[in-house]
Amino acid sequence: MTPIRVMVVDDHSVVREGIRHVLSDTALFAVVGEAASAAEAIAAVAAWAPDVIVLDVSMPGGSGLHAVAELLERAPAARVLMLSVHEDAEYVLESVRAGAHGYLRKDSTPAELRSAVTALGVGESYYSPQIAGALANALRARSAAPAPERAPSAAQVLTARERQILALVADGATNREIGTQLGISTRTVEAHRDSLMRKLGIRTVAGLTRLAIEQGIVPKR
């Protein structure tokens, strides 16, 4: 049997090494490439031609969610498994909208990681039971709820600094990275971030990213 070709994208080398170790335990998989950032993955994916891309949701310098469409454009036969510390339904919904085929928490067992990669490798989707349950509940709640009001315009309710921070958050930057880029303290970044979340009524990075894309604050990727 031809092994499933896997590309691992995560900014932490210990995570990449752990995934490689888990998948190298059996001849069913072959880790053909690793990348530490979305940009690195996009540049290399066509050459590596993976069957499955294991992709971290949140990475400095660019969100994994933003990278899905371009990765699939360059490697259309691949399927994407999002890997995250979050099980918030908003993140799962965003990954589905982005074009991913599965979603797994980083604290999943080695057996579940192998099951997920196997499922994607044969053309199926994979969501762990708790993730699938959260996604189903979120979809049911949305279908039962009245249509939401249009999100407020960031240009109308945010200060210029808050709009800068929103754009950087949506691009995957951490509070420390934002502070360094803008020349302000991490605590000041946190204060601005809390303020913009309160004004927009959004409490997750996935929700902020979606609004920033919808309102043209960051480009759709």
For 145-182, write each residue's pLDDT tens digit.
554 555 567 767 788 888 899 888 888 888 888 999 99
Which residues pair with residue 33 across a beta bridge? Answer: 7
Buried b vs exposed e over 13-24: b needs ≥16 C-beta within 10 Å? Answer: eebbebbbebbe
Provide the whole-model pTM: 0.65
Domains of the chain (ranges; CATH) run 4-142 (3.40.50.2300), 154-214 (1.10.10.10)
pLDDT at 56: 93
Q: How far apart are CA 1 and CA 173, in angstroms?
A: 41
Which residues pair with residue 102 across a beta bridge? Answer: 81, 126
Least Cα distance to 55 among 115, 11, 114, 118 occurs for 11
Q: How far apart are CA 65 and CA 38, in angstroms?
A: 9
Segment 43-75, tens digit of pLDDT: 999 999 999 999 998 887 777 888 898 999 999
Residue 12 tokens read as 């932490």
pLDDT category of residue 20 using cuts at 50, 70 and 90: very high
pLDDT at 146: 56
Q: What is the length of the chain?
A: 221
